Amino acid sequence: MKLVQVCLMVVVASASVWAEPVLYNGGFEKLDLNGIPSKFKYHANDEDSARNRDWTYTPLAGVTRFDGFPGGFAAQDGVNMGLLQQESEIAVTIEDFEPGKEYEVTWYEAGRKFNESRGGGTLAVVMADANGLENLVPLGAAHVVSNFNQWERKSGRFTATAPVHRLRFSHLVGKDGQGQPLDVTTFIDHVSIRAVSDGAPSN
């Protein structure tokens, strides 16, 4: 094989790797919660969140270990999972999309059994523009999460319209007799993304 052929193969291989969008910290494992007595953290934003390299969390969203929130259960992967309590959102900016190409986002979700008597929260998963405010494409319908302490795999597809999009997990709950949001929590874990056309197995 000629040197030029080898070089071309290396270039092609590199291009195919770097063209794929990367979802950092899809399993919420980056944060070590062992040093926190409660073993969970609301509003778990860090410097990578500000750099669009990790999730952002609204004040009642965050990360918990499997043994953090009371009545917790095993994570889908690793030891941590994302938590969405009452009205809250976990979102992340993802780069390197190829406009016109179809992608699939896969995640696992479960309601917190501790709150089962109050019904589940409603989860809406949306792919938006880079700012997260426009061109909202639902990844499946918004739905009540009624599988408590039991992971359910979900997925949704969308076609990229720009190189950068924002993935949003938004949580809504009902109101109590005083009009206050019910204390209901939904967990998410093992979020991943892939190009549909590459034929790679979903996980």
Residues that bind Ca ion (CB under 5 A): 27-28, 75, 77-78, 80, 189
Phi–psi pair at 185, nearest 5 degrees: -125, 140
The distance of closest approach from Cβ of residue 192 to Ca ion in the complex, given in angstroms and rounded to an integer, is: 11
Measured from each CB, the residue nearest to Ca ion is 27
Number of residues in the chain: 203
The distance of closest approach from Cβ of residue 197 to Ca ion in the complex, given in angstroms and rounded to an integer, is: 28
* Choice between 97 and 151, CB closer to Ca ion: 151
* Choice between 28 and 103, CB closer to Ca ion: 28
The distance of closest approach from Cβ of residue 30 to Ca ion in the complex, given in angstroms and rounded to an integer, is: 10
CA distance 100 to 162: 8
The distance of closest approach from Cβ of residue 152 to Ca ion in the complex, given in angstroms and rounded to an integer, is: 15
Relative to beta strand 122-128, strand 88-94 is unpaired
* Choice between 27 and 72, CB closer to Ca ion: 27
* Choice between 30 and 118, CB closer to Ca ion: 30
AA letter at 152: E
Burial 104-134 (b: 16+ CB within 10 A, else e): bbbbbbbbbebbeebebbbbbbbbbebebee
